[in-house]
Amino acid sequence: MRALVLSLREALKVRTFAVGSAILATVVIAAVLAPVLAPHTYQEMNIPQALTGPSRQYPFGTDNYGRCVFSRVIYGSRIALEVGFIVVVIETLIGVALGLIAGYYGGAVDRVVSFVTDMTWALPPQVLALAIVTALGPSLNNVVIAIAVVSWAQFARIIRSKTQALKNTPYVEAARALSESDLSIMLRYILPNTMGAVIVLTTLALPSAILSTTALSFLGLGAQPPQPDWGVILKDGISYMARAPWISIFPGLAIVWTVLGFNLLGEGLRDVLDPRLKV
């Protein structure tokens, strides 16, 4: 715990980490305080005021139903963060578990896991995700599953090689001599020593999870209207691009802001926790 506080203090000295945290703080505040910050609800329509530009009443303008784009973007941060976190938790669990198993047992187990890992490189992740969504049917839940299923390979690869290096350390050999079970060795002696890499990978997986899920929602395969998903708002805005460009511009800016925040945070963390990690 003390080490964590120390490394946090260290991390704040790294500029990318500090800037990234500041950016993300605004996103988290927007998500938590959405009902307070948003002047309207995300569904409230005002047809006479449809497609009006940014004003005091509607800071980001209104869409074709006269809904407040600002409020929708604010509420959208909840979807983006929630979806991003769920995707990343699933892919971290799959990737770390497979990486540990492959690295620890080696041999045939390793070969099978590595083949499955390499398999996911056989298709571009977006295309594989599209294929999965086709099979499961379009919905936000299925998009979460699809994106998580296609993106754990990075975790497995890196945790595998870390585990291979760690399993020959004296303390792991000592644990084995004391006849600790394999599971306990993996979880108590190896996993804690890969935590730095796991934290960095997780942070850097978040922005791509948000980009992928909003892209699928943008294609009409994920979140469905009237959910204020950033991808959905953007897509709805395309038809009114010439008359009301603000509908599409602002949710896009929100995505860039959030993704940028996570990217900077992740790079800062890497510089502090595991500078040699290649992601």
Partner 1 sequence: MFEYAVRKLAFGVLVVFAVTVILFAVMQLMPGDPIRLIANPRMTPEKMEQLRHQWGLDQPVYVQYFFWLARFLHGDFGTSIVTGQPVSFLIATRLPYTLALAGLALLLEYALAVPLGLIAAVKQNSALDRGIVFVSTILWSVPTFWLGILLMLLLAVKIPVFPISGYSGPLSIVLPALTLTLPALAGTLRLTRSEVLEAVREPYVLTAYAKGLPSRAVLIRHVLRNALIPVTMMFFLSLPWLLGGSVVVESIFSWPGMGRLLWKSIGVQDLPVVQGIVVIIAVLTVISNVAGDIVAGLLDPRIRLEIEGGER
Binding site for partner 1 (CB under 8 A): 118-119, 121-127, 130-131, 133-135, 138, 207, 211, 214-215, 218-221, 231, 234-235, 237-238, 241-242, 245, 248-249, 251-252, 255-256, 259-260, 263-264
CB of 114: closest distance to partner 1 in angstroms?
11
- Which lies closer to partner 1 via its Cβ, residue 194 or residue 248? 248
Amino acid at position 70, single letter: F
- Which lies closer to partner 1 via its Cβ, residue 1 or residue 122? 122
Q: How many residues does the chain have?
A: 279
What is each CA distance from 135 to 123, 132, 140, in whole angstroms?
Answer: 16, 5, 14
- Which lies closer to partner 1 via its Cβ, residue 47 or residue 123? 123
> DSSP 3-state assignment of 68?
strand
- CB burial class (10 A; 0-12, 13-18, 19+) of residue 33? exposed
CB of 214: closest distance to partner 1 in angstroms?
6
Question: Mutual orientation of helices 246-273 and 230-238 as an angle, nearest 10°?
Answer: 150
CB of 73: closest distance to partner 1 in angstroms?
13
- Which lies closer to partner 1 via its Cβ, residue 201 or residue 259? 259
- CB burial class (10 A; 0-12, 13-18, 19+) of residue 56? exposed
- Which lies closer to partner 1 via its Cβ, residue 144 or residue 247? 247
- Which residue in this structure is represented by tokens 């991003």? 84
CB of 211: closest distance to partner 1 in angstroms?
5
- Which lies closer to partner 1 via its Cβ, residue 16 or residue 191? 16
Q: Classify each residue of 140-165 as buried b or exposed e, where b means 16 or more C-beta atoms within 10 Å of its C-beta.
A: bebbbbbbbbbbbbbbbbbbbebbee
CB of 59: closest distance to partner 1 in angstroms?
19
CB of 245: closest distance to partner 1 in angstroms?
6
